[in-house]
Amino acid sequence: MRWGMVIDLKRCIGCYGCQLSCKAENGTPPGVFFARVHKQEEGQYPTAQTTFLPVLCNHCDDPPCVDVCPTGASFVWEDDGIVDIDADKCVGCRSCMLACPYSQRFLNDEPRNYYGEQGATPYEEARVQRHQTGVVMKCNFCRDRVRNGQDPACVENCPTIARYFGDLDDPKSEVSRLIRERSGFPLHPEKGTNPNVYYLPA
């Protein structure tokens, strides 16, 4: 089994719903974004166009972040191919952040909250504070949800159903079919990381 995601750029409206639902699900502190939406503008008036590019960890088959990690904190789950971080092993050397071609790793370097001098809200106490500081964080495809038979939060909450999640090893899965039929492509294949997040052209 190899979990993967397909993002349909034709359906994405750049609402940042994935980013927000990810934050709500994972309680990521300020400065840590497991899911982001890039706005990419091309061309010039009057033919300019804006493309929204949702990005997240690509859970590569050959993840350079895992190779460079000196402690084994970054690792790949053998049973499903998800790239994850064992926070208890991370020394915060940040090698993985510089190895990831997709810039999808973030250092949670100090305790932060969203409301300044007011201090942490009860929600933040419950969700944000559970994360260790001084360690690198990243998306793990909401592995706990996936193991319980649910889709990742960003997939479940996308209002335009632009995200699909499934087993890339299964040729009959929806993700495999979409990639095959609609010419799905990964980001930066030239880096040789063999990503498991694919995009469908707009």
Partner 1 sequence: MTSTSSGRYEQLLKDYQTEYRPQREWSEGRGFYLIVGHFLVGVAAGAWLFGLFFQDLISLLAGFVLAGLGGLAHLANLARPERFILMMLRTATSWVSRGFWGLTLFLVGSVIYLPSLMFTDTFWQSDSVIASAGVAISIAGSIIMMAYMGFVYTASKAIPFWNSTLHPVLYISYALRGGAAAYLLSLAFQGEAVAGGSDILVFWIAVTATVIVLWLFEIQGALTSGEEAAVRSVHDILAGRLALYFYVGILLIGLFVPVFLMAGIIAPLSPTLFAIIGLSSVAGDFFMKFSSIKAGIFMPVRLQSGNTRRATRRRKI
Query: Looking at beta carbons only, is 116 or 149 nearer to partner 1?
Result: 116
Looking at residues 162 to 191 of the shown chain, list those that interact with partner 1 (rule: CB under 8 A): 185, 187-188, 191
Distance CA 162, CA 157 (A): 10
Smallest distance, partner 1 to C-beta of residue 85, A: 13
Q: Does 122 bind partner 1 (CB under 8 A)?
A: no
Smallest distance, partner 1 to C-beta of residue 190, A: 9
In three-state secondary structure terms, 33 is coil
Stretch that binds partner 1, among 18-26, 38-46, 140-148, 162-170 (CB under 8 A): 38-46
Type of residue found at 3:
W
Smallest distance, partner 1 to C-beta of residue 170, A: 25
CA triple 135-137-141, angle to 5 deg: 155
Q: Does 13 bind partner 1 (CB under 8 A)?
A: no
Q: Does 115 bind partner 1 (CB under 8 A)?
A: yes
* Residue 32 CB contacts under 8 Å (≥ 6 apart), including other chains: 106, 108, 131, 137
Distance CA 57, CA 35 (A): 8
Query: Looking at beta carbons only, is 20 or 146 nearer to partner 1?
Result: 20
* Residue 161 CB contacts under 8 Å (≥ 6 apart), including other chains: 8, 11
Q: Which of 102, 103, 202, 196 is nearest to 162 (CA)?
A: 202
Query: Looking at beta carbons only, is 54 or 81 nearer to partner 1?
Result: 54
**Distance of alpha carbon 144 from the chain centroid:** 15
Contact pick of 46, 48, 78, 119 for partner 1 (by CB under 8 A): 119
Write out the two tokens for 148: 């319980």
Write out the two tokens for 50: 């804006």
Binding site for partner 1 (CB under 8 A): 9-10, 30-31, 36, 38, 40, 42, 49, 51, 53, 55, 64, 66-73, 89-95, 97-103, 107, 109-117, 119-120, 133-135, 185, 187-188, 191, 193, 199, 201-202
